[in-house]
Every structure is written in C-alpha cells, then in structure tokens.
Amino acid sequence: MLNEENFAPYFQFGAENQGNLRGKRIVVAMSGGVDSSVVAAMAASTGAETIGITLQLYDHGAAISRVGSCCAGQDIRDARAVADKLGIAHYVFDHESQFRETVIEQFADEYLAGRTPIPCVRCNMGVKFTDLLRIARELDADCLATGHYVRRIEGKNGAELHRAADPARDQSYFLFATTQEQLDYLRFPLGDLPKDRVRELANMVSLSVANKPDSQDICFVPDGDYAKIVRKVRPDADDAGNIVHIYSGEILGAHKGLIHYTVGQRRGLEIGGLAEPLYVIKLDAASKNVLVGPKSALAVGAARLVNPNWLEDIEGRSVLAKVRSLARPVSAVLRGDQLIFDSPEYGVAPGQAAVIYDAEGHVLGGAWIEETVSADMMASA
C-alpha cells in the first residue's frame, strides 16, 4: 500500500479526522483507468473502509475488448482487478438505459438541432454526480471520491471548486454544473498532482493499469466519428440542405446533413474556388442551412445563457469566462442572462457551456450557451 505518504488530507471530514480516517467509509467512482484506480489506492491507504463503484454505461458486448472506453467492457474488468489487488469491495451497476436516454440520445438531438453538445458534462450532471452520489449515500459513505483533475478547497462558505494545479489536466470546465450540495460530499484527491506523479503512485502499488493509456475523445465515440453515432441513434439524421453565405444569401453549395458541421469549422465544406476562406458561422435547423462567412463573422460580442448553476453571485462582476473546453478564459461581465465579452470572442457555439472563474481559478459557476450575439450587432446597438 501507499504507506510512505499520508493521504488522509485528501479526504477531509473535519480537523478532528486529520491523519486518522479509521471508522470512515469512502466510495470511489472507478472507471477502470489509472486516475480512479489511484484514488481507490489512496483512499484504502488512509485506513478508511473503501468501496469501489463502477457504472456500466453502454453496450458491454460491443465494448468488451476496447481499452479506454470508460465504464464498459475491458475497463470494467480492469476496475475489478484493481479492487481485488487493493482488497476492497467492488460493485458494478447497470445504468446503460439511463445513459442512453440522458446522454447519447441528447447528444444526437443536440446535433440535429444545430447545436454543439458536451456529453461529458451531461454525464457528470446525471449518472455520475446524481446516481453515484445516491448510491454512495445509500451505502452510508462519508464521501464520494473521483479521479477528476480539479481541486476542492474549503472556503468560508463551504467547499469551493478550483482549477487543477496542472493546467494541462484541468477538468473544471466539465464540472461547472456541480451543485454546492454535491461539492460538499465530493472529494477530488488528484487536483494537486501532475499526471506523471499519479502514474508513479500506481506503479508503487503495482496496479495493472499504471501505464494504461488515457481515454480519448468522447467515451462512446472512440473513433471520433460523431455523425455515425448520431445516425445510429436517429436514422433520419442525414437531412441535406444548402450552404449559404451569411451576408449575401448566395447558395454556395449543398451539404449532406447538419450533423457533419460545427460552428467555426473551415475544412470539409467542399466549396472551393472562393476569394477568401469561409467558416461555419451558424447552423440553422429550421431551414437546414449551413451559414458560412469570413472569419470576422465568427466574432461574438455576447452570449445568452440558460440553466445556470451559480456557486456565487457574479452579476455585474468582472470575471473570466471559458466558452470551450480548450479555450483560454477571457474577460467578461454577466448582466442578467447575457454574458458580455470585453473583446470579441471567436468560435462560441450554442450547446456549449460558459464556465466562470475568478482570477485565482475559483469556479464561480456556469451555464449553457443558448444563442450568441455577433460583435457587429453589439457595435451597432
């Protein structure tokens, strides 16, 4: 076990328990990857009773030999093997039908509506941070621990969510919908560690997954072919339409379905021979048109937000907003449901999320982007 380090501070239950968690019960969400496996090892090393839980989220048969799929096939077997190695209990719960309804089908419907979905957030909001928390509470656990790279810091008003210490691994964007009640119960032991250190810890206890590759892309789209998944769920998805210039209204060509395009896309439009490169500016589900234009047309001055989860009051405050998982945070201010950018922002797409931070990396909350307002329209208002 991890005897040479004290991991109790990662599972805080008050000052009286520092360094001694015997008598406590920790449930660990185990996906079969190295991150959650190390969290399980850390929890077990504290002396607390540790229970591993894995949710089977999609077709076990189709994924049986796949590695890095998360919560299916080989990964479930890996999670079980790690639990056996650590000597902890491990349970698998079948949540395939719920995952299909709340994540996969919604993913397909969002694409059909001309939006750009983030299924990882939907999964965290649903089966992971709702169902897993319920199971952990039913098991009378003191907390639920996961392998996400974010930091949980006790603040004056309760637990706070912060960016991970390693910016290259930070997953706070995908956890913006975590409620205060959930955050009080969750623990994220890896938030202060670089990935290399996590693999070192896995090797220290000879975990079979120590050098297992990280999962790539969306777990249920292993080859990156989103359109194939959408067509499988919604067979009528390939609905052709026109590619139209957003300014002139000229029809520049035809497309084979909105599901093949995203806002900001440049390649694959198949409308060559033009004087300047064109980008996807908007997907109009009503007309089935793909609207394209110059890069300047991608400039967004504001975004209307819906279904927010605010962890602090940010109305009128100068904040940092991240509008894509790989985007850099930019200065903005929230006024009502409008997030107004200090400078035009590019590639802002309905269906994505706007996650709000302060200058220290404290997550203040976030919301879904419902629609955008062009920088030109903001300037002329």
Any bridge partners for residue 341, and if so which? 332
* E strand or H helix that includes residue 196: helix 195-204
**Catalytic annotation present for 120:** no
**Catalytic annotation present for 71:** no
> In angstroms, rounded to a whole number, what is the distance separating the alpha carbons of residues 299 and 356?
20
> In angstroms, rounded to a whole number, what is the distance separating the alpha carbons of residues 14 and 209?
32
Neighbours of 153 (CB within 10 A): 12
> In angstroms, rounded to a whole number, what is the distance separating the alpha carbons of residues 71 and 90?
13
CA quadruple 100, 103, 105, 111: dihedral positive or negative?
A: negative
Beta strands in the chain (DSSP E): 25-29, 49-56, 89-94, 143-145, 150-155, 158-163, 186-187, 241-245, 251-255, 279-284, 289-293, 300-310, 318-322, 330-335, 338-345, 353-357, 363-374
| CB-CB contact of 30 with 89 (8 Å) | no
Instruction: Check 70, 71, 120, 123 and give the catalytic one.
Output: 123
Instruction: Check 71, 120, 143, 219 and give the catalytic one.
Output: 219
Instruction: Residue 303: name the closest of 353, 362, 247, 357 by CA.
Output: 353
Residues with catalytic function? 123, 219
